[in-house]
Structure 1
């Protein structure tokens, strides 16, 4: 995989934006509300599947190496056993899915980008919620049922994440065409 200097810069930029998004948070439980999904979605839209996923993987690797960039406050390999780590894994795959849907169309209109963001969000939840359940139940040893985890790890985030999908799709619809012309 050959990456140009421009692509490296944009990939690093979205990794940094995702890290910044982790610090803009509302602590509500085991997993805080953050702006990370907004930057994950924008990475997929603007960088495409391959580089969007790479930017999120870079973000996760930076945190696993010990730099405190995760919203949970976990540092290094300890982050793997934090309840929110499944969402971080989901960011990588979510950005990939969003990028794939975006790449499959010649014109990146609002509806197409919004659909891509929704699909990416679903992927993130499909990984994050079960991981949250497993960590809370098996690692933290708390007696919790899956429906409670759905409430605290999915339903509470849904309105904000749908809003982030709207914002990402609106920004993407304006910016993607400009980026394609500049490339």
Structure 2
């Protein structure tokens, strides 16, 4: 499905219109709307203008839809850097709160709370992202940490008391968060 048809579908559904109602409002054939939404036809000229007018879309926005393949290299590097720093900082925070020599009941409780609240914030702000994509981007540090724990069983003073449950809560919240909070994963 091309990006123009996705944007038309998204806007049509946001307005609560059926394909039939959109065809009536735009003054085009229902079959035309169906073929455009199924990416069998690309809207052009007058048809494009009529559909955009019915959906309150700008024709230029529809023509210049970015398909995500032309992301500048600097932006990609910045995203990778941010996600790496975020994942390592998050896992370090959870690990630190579970050290044997400095952990108290309060730090264990804080670890459990943060392992839910931080991912819940991420889920809410990335609600149109799939659970798997969110887990891979924001929870990759969890996988790394679990591999280290499996290799060492005891990582320089970190007990498995709440480190593993905290990581599991994080991963579950990131993956199933949209279901837990009943958020739409996509706008289509």
The structure where helix makes up a greater share of residues is 1
Range into which the TM-score falls when normalised by the shorter chain: 0.3 to 0.5
TM-score normalised by the chain length of structure 2: 0.35
